[in-house]
Amino acid sequence: MRTAKRFLIWVAIGLMLVASPVLASQHDYDISTADANTGATFRAAVNAALQALASLSSGATQPTTPYAYQLWADTTNNYLKIRNSANTAWTTIGSLSSIYLGLAATFDENSFTQSQQLKGAALLVRMKDTGASGEEWAIRSTGGNLEIVLNTGTESSPTWTVQARMDVNALRIGNGTSADIDIIANNDGGNKPRLRYQAAGSKWQYSNDGETFNDLGSGGSSPSAMPVGSVITHAGPSAPAGYLQCNGAAVSRTTYADLFAVISTMYGVGNGSTTFNLPDYRGYFLRGRDNGAGVDPDRASRTNRGDGTTGDNVGTKQGHQLYSHSHSASSSINTNWPTVYGMAYVYPSVGGGGAPAYSEGTHYQWIAPVPDWLYVTTSIGNNGGNETRPANINVLYCIKY
């Protein structure tokens, strides 16, 4: 610990010397024969070398003749650097403008005086990825929070953007202000389940694949895990937020991309390029697809849903139909009807022989031998309206987008 302190004190003295424009210099540390011609030239050469050493070879560019383990105060990037053992590259030690070169996390807090201890927005740890990403991260304490920050600026002029923040009440993921929060369950290349909060819509969303998102709730409403393409009945006159009326309208494939990914052109191609049709459920009762249950006897004859698909498929249609049935009938006897060979006879015509008019709902037929002038009239009453239906109440069918 003491050795490290002495090293840092020595470096600090050197940095103080850097502040003097007279001593800021670089030297190749080679005293040539010409430098030694006279006492004055020799003294000047030695002084120049000592000044370069004292100033840590400070300068905007690296020393022309570097040496292994040589220190260099890089004034362009504001870093203290050291030459590697192979004398092939420079390694950054720390910031010239930060207390203890920004390396305070390597020491015990108690080794600093109260005035030297980290406060405010001071960085505790600063890390740079030397791989392909080149990203630079840091951990800092500010305003009573512990933050993980990403450098969205440059190495010499960093801009620290909050990625996660922890205080005594919560763990916040995001930039700590009004931007989105995004939590990724894993980093698998083919499947990235995610949970996110979108500030723009004030809603939580989840995704099983990292691409298609479903709302968990919005606007302070109770969470709802309805997936895109779900159909609900709504008691209001217009569709609620996040839904469209099932009215067959052509809507944008871009604006409603998630819904288009689910139903595509099942209910119509729209204009064939930029729009697609919604299902049209106006005036219809919905029926579950038979799908092998054998409940819908006419499933094979179901008609086009909008894209040419028929039969037992989601979205296909059926028109009105009455189930095959029979009726009971009542009969009356009229003894004023002529007989032939002892049997009453019906004339398939209007009038004649006192026969009543042949009309809908009245049928004449042979009957067993009866006394003369006997015939039978059978009547089936007509009733009903414009359609066959159960008692019902109108609702608005809406689809989730």
Rounded Cα distance between 281 and 37, Å, is 104
Joined tokens for residue 13: 């003295």
Listed as ranges, residues in the chain with pLDDT below 70 are 1-24, 34-36, 102-124, 167-180, 184-191, 198-202, 217-225, 329-381
CA distances from 140 to 33, 114, 304, 338 (A): 53, 18, 63, 115
Rounded Cα distance between 232 and 395, Å, is 10
- Contacting residues for 365 by C-beta, under 8 A, at least 6 apart: 346, 376, 378
Sheet with 375-379: strands ordered across: 330-334, 375-379, 362-363
Please state the φ and ψ torsions of residue 315, each to the nearest 5 degrees.
95, -15
pLDDT value of residue 243: 93
pLDDT value of residue 353: 45
179: number of Cβ within 10 Å: 14
Are 206 and 198 within 8 A, CB to CB? no
CA distances from 309 to 277, 303, 305, 312, 313 (A): 15, 8, 6, 9, 7
Buried/exposed code over 213-224 (b: 16+ C-beta within 10 A; e: otherwise): bbbbebeeeeee
Please state the φ and ψ torsions of residue 30, each to the nearest 5 degrees.
-120, 110
- Does this model's pTM top 0.85? My answer is no
Are 399 and 243 within 8 A, CB to CB? yes
Rounded to 5°, the CA angle 174-175-181 comes to 25
71: number of Cβ within 10 Å: 20
Tell me which residue of 153, 99, 152, 106 sits closest to 122, measured CA to CA: 99
Rg of the chain over all Cα atoms, to the nearest angstrom: 46
pLDDT value of residue 172: 66
Rounded Cα distance between 178 and 110, Å, is 38
59: number of Cβ within 10 Å: 19
pLDDT value of residue 348: 45
Residues β-bridged to residue 207: 194
Rounded to 5°, the CA angle 100-103-105 comes to 120
